[in-house]
A and B are shown apart, each in its own frame.
Chain A
Amino acid sequence: ETGVTQSPTHLIKTRGQQVTLRCSSQSGHNTVSWYQQALGQGPQFIFQYYREEENGRGNFPPRFSGLQFPNYSSELNVNALELDDSALYLCASSYRQGRELFFGSGTQLSVL
């Protein structure tokens, strides 16, 4: 059984640029959530996708957006990057809403 995989593992961008992060869910999982983990902090919920629709959003501005595809893989897009967007971005999947989340290893984004 393949776990949750994220790509890339590391990324460096400059302020104002746009970035796309990718996540492949664990087999059989139809729900994907994204979290932002700033250095020294706990993860913060960004949003959740269930069956290709956004289903719950945390306190993040609209420049954070996402997609979920028919195969349940997902993307996180961030526009107009700011220095404070530098963080570890974690993707988590579950086989349905409210069930145990399985996390990927994350994408470390640095904004210069």
Chain B
Amino acid sequence: GNSVTQMEGPVTLSEEAFLTINCTYTATGYPSLFWYVQYPGEGLQLLLKATKADDKGSNKGFEATYRKETTSFHLEKGSVQVSDSAVYFCALTNNAGGTSYGKLTFGQGTILTVHP
């Protein structure tokens, strides 16, 4: 079955530091990959996505590249801000159709705290 593994957290950084959150996956076929962000007391928001190998998703200074050879989708940002403090989830969905179509499989989440 499908699974997503994220790096163990939490991650604590100073403002303007470089961020990497690792994500690897196991899936059949050719999944789409996502990063979601969850701010305290809120639901999940889609941060970025990539639908095929070598695609790069980007949004709000965050980037992630779909690497099929290493089954990875690591999240990066060159300079984090205090407002980036949140929980980040890597996820995938199977595009093969059937009853699992559109179902998201999530990693366990990584808590990011950015200090001024």
A positions within 8 Å CB-CB of B:
4, 31, 33, 35, 40-45, 48, 55-58, 90, 92, 94, 97-101, 103-106
Contact = CB atoms under 8 A, between A and B. Distances in A.
A33 B102 contact: yes
Interface in B20-74: 36, 41-46, 49
Interface residues of B, number: 25
Contact of B101 (A98, A103, A105): A98
B104 interface: yes
A43 B93 contact: no
A41 B99 contact: no
Contact of B103 (A4, A41, A58): A58
Contacts of B81: none
21 contacts: A33-B103, A35-B104, A41-B108, A41-B109, A42-B89, A42-B109, A43-B104, A43-B106, A44-B106, A48-B102, A56-B100, A90-B44, A92-B44, A97-B101, A97-B102, A98-B93, A98-B102, A104-B43, A105-B41, A105-B42, A106-B43
Contacts of A41: 108-109
A57 B4 CA distance: 19
A45 B104 contact: yes
A-B interface, 10 closest residue pairs, ranked by CB to CB distance from nearest: A42-B106, A103-B43, A56-B99, A103-B44, A105-B43, A98-B102, A97-B102, A45-B103, A42-B108, A98-B101
